[in-house]
Structure 1
Amino acid sequence: MPKTKDTNDFLLRTMKTFDKNQPMWIGMHDKDKEGTIVWEDGSKVLTWGNFEWTNGGLFGVAEDCFALDPYNGKWHDYGCSNTGLLTTLGITPNSKLPFICQYLIKKGQAGSDRGGQGKDNVDD
């Protein structure tokens, strides 16, 4: 969960390192109440200005899960399960948004700011 700009920047660099060109879910949603955004761990979202200005579902489409956009590094809301709207971004219909921690990071690939090691998914 990119609760700080440094973490957000690290995730963005990692996405680019692994050539991930589709939005990645960042553990943030407003599923319980539209407009009340929370982290998956239940903590409050304290923003530092990283929300995409175009957030909000169009024509009543539920967009309750937030993802990191690899092109501009902003947080944008999408449907939690893709119903076909995200296929242009390479996300399979009826699938969930991918998330960065589902990818295995090997030592030396995660970047110099972490000493070449990912935090949780490091394969020795």
Structure 2
Amino acid sequence: MWRGTCYKAFNTEKSFSDAAATCGVDGGTLAMPRDAETNAFLISLCKSVRVHKPFWFGLHDQREEGSFEWVDGSALGTYTFWAPGQPDNQGNQDCVIYGGAPRPPYDKWQDTECYWEFRFICQAAPGCP
């Protein structure tokens, strides 16, 4: 629980859309770290599950290239935590992860292809199911 929102990090790997669907089963969404404090909390949650492995969270630019939005449809806003040189949109990189090996920095945001399978973080508000 963080600031009235329940978060859960999954140690199973799914594509971005399958991860989002799994979050939806519990009435939640992929996590949306809209500020530095929440982002730091989610990074610590990831590390408690699996160190130096990528995790999906709820940011993408699938609707319009270069226009990142949260899975609830709201705009990215002013807070970001991109790794140096990111987002770089190499290939068809429309979804965002907390980076992982072999690509440090491990806790910064990186865009990647949505079909890759990674661990993921869900959020549900208010409270926990």
Question: Which of 88, 91, 96 in structure 2 is aligned with 1:56?
Answer: 88
Summarize the alignment of residues 1-124 of structure 1 with structure 2, pairs less than 5 Å apart: 1-54=32-85, 55-58=87-90, 61-69=91-99, 71-82=105-116, 96-101=117-122, 120=128
Contact 2:60 2:70 in 1 (8 A): yes
Cα distance in 2 between the residues matched to 1:10 and 1:38: 20
Cα distance in 2 between the residues matched to 1:53 and 1:79: 18
Question: Offset of 1:101 from its aligned partner?
Answer: 2.8
Structure 1 residue ranges, 4+ long, deviating more than 3 angstroms after superposition: none
SS of residue matched to 1:101: strand
Superposed CA offset, 1:18-77 (max 9, x none): 22432111111001111011000001101324122322233xx10000111254421110
Cα distance in 2 between the residues matched to 1:3 and 1:65: 16
What is the aligned residue count?
90
Percent identity over the alignment is 32
RCO comparison, higher one (Cα < 8 Å, 6+): 2
**RMSD after superposition:** 2.2
Letter of the 1:99 partner, please give it: F
Cα distance in 2 between the residues matched to 1:120 and 1:80: 27
Indicate how the Cα distance of structure 1 residues 120 and 21 shifts in structure 2: closer, same or farther if over 3 A, else same.
farther
Normalised TM-score (structure 1)? 0.63
SS of residue matched to 1:120: coil
Question: Offset of 1:80 from its aligned partner?
Answer: 0.3
Structure 2 gaps, min length 5: 1-31
Cα distance in 2 between the residues matched to 1:10 and 1:25: 15
Structure 1 gaps, min length 5: 83-95, 103-118
Cα distance in 2 between the residues matched to 1:80 and 1:97: 10
Hey, which of these two has a bigger chunk of strand by percent?
2
Normalised TM-score (structure 2)? 0.60
